[in-house]
Structure 1
Amino acid sequence: MERSRGSDESGGRPPLTGTTPAKPGASLPATAADARDRVAALLRQSELPQGADAVADALMVTTELVTNAIRHGGGLAGFHADVHDGALRVSVADHSSEVPVTQTSPPAGIRIGGYGWPLVQSLVDDLTVTPHPNGKQITAHLKLR
């Protein structure tokens, strides 16, 4: 099942690529902080005008997706980030076929966790969840306004 919000823009100049772990020997970020650092460096390299809010949103989305893959998805299976047509695309693959679910009612008592997926959904312009034989890949697009 693929879920999408918005549309994918293509054309223009080629993407500026950050990390492509699908290639043999490519290293995956060891932690969410490592992934965040890679995306921050990619954004600096892009030389696009970016507001502080756009950068904070991009780093928050990266952190949430990688953290969820590590914590709930059986580990990080892939990570890719690139900048294309004024937008950041972050793809994170994990080993779980479970699709993230937005909780509709809060559990009794103090809730720990469960806020990341709704936060990601609210910050991105386009979001897809694509299953694959060994888990799933989540791809988020954020316009760098």
Structure 2
Amino acid sequence: MRPRSVAPNPPPGTSCARARDYARRVLAEQYAPPSLVADVLTVVSELVSNAVRHAGGVTGFRVTVRAGQVVVEVSDRSALLPHLGPPCPHTPGGFGWRVVKTLAPSTFVRSHRTGKTVVAALPTHTGRPPAP
């Protein structure tokens, strides 16, 4: 895949479905393998749904293809940082951040004046990273 950032990005307040459609288009232009597309769409779904559910909605969204990685950035209005809670198989939810960190192990959060941006970098190689 060739390094490239695709514009324009979806507008703030985007939904999970719209964000996935956008990511799918970016990856199709790069001829990304199906397994990478599936992983990126999972990360997009988790980050966007968490921003909507817990952080007042999406204020920014971007998917960038770089050498060796696909970077997903989701911004929201909350200063609260995501965290890994203890696994509770009998409680619904609470697995999204663990999934994101498994698929994109170099994920980090950038805090800013208006909230935060979660930056998840997925490697483009075919092997999956080990679980955290």
TM bucket normalised to smaller: 0.7 to 0.9
Which residue, 98, 104, 113 being the options, matches 2:93? 113
Q: In 2, distance between residues paired with 1:86 and 1:63? A: 22
CA deviations 1:79-103 (Å, max 9, x no partner) are 0111111321110000000000111
Q: Is the 8 A contact 1:18 1:81 kept in 2?
A: no
Which residue does the alignment assign to 1:4?
A: none
CA deviations 1:15-58 (Å, max 9, x no partner) are 2324446xxxxx2363101101100110000134x2x3221111
Question: Larger radius of gyration, structure 1 or 2?
Answer: 1
Q: In 2, distance between residues paired with 1:143 and 1:72? A: 27
Give the AA of the match of 1:99: L
Tell me how far 1:142 sits from its aligned partner.
0.7
Which residue does the alignment assign to 1:34?
A: 18
* Residues 81-92 of structure 1 mapped to structure 2, 5 A cutoff: 81-92=63-74
Q: Is the 8 A contact 1:87 1:141 kept in 2?
A: yes
- Structure 1: 5+ residue stretches without partners: 1-12, 22-26
Aligned alpha-carbon RMSD (Å): 1.9
Q: Is the 8 A contact 2:107 2:118 kept in 1?
A: yes
Which residue does the alignment assign to 2:52?
A: 70
Give the AA of the match of 1:34: R
Tell me how far 1:105 sits from its aligned partner.
5.2
Q: In 2, distance between residues paired with 1:126 and 1:113? A: 22
Q: Is the 8 A contact 2:69 2:121 kept in 1?
A: yes
Which residue does the alignment assign to 1:101?
A: 83
Which residue does the alignment assign to 1:10?
A: none
- Structure 2: 5+ residue stretches without partners: 126-132
- Higher relative contact order, structure no. (Cα contacts within 8 Å, ≥ 6 residues apart): 1
Which residue, 124, 128, 133 being the options, matches 2:104? 124
Counting aligned pairs with the same residue, the percent is 35
Q: In 2, distance between residues paired with 1:62 and 1:39? A: 8
Which residue does the alignment assign to 2:4?
A: 15
Q: Is the 8 A contact 2:68 2:123 kept in 1?
A: yes
Q: In 2, distance between residues paired with 1:144 and 1:66? A: 21
Q: Is the 8 A contact 2:87 2:95 kept in 1?
A: no
Give the AA of the match of 1:80: R
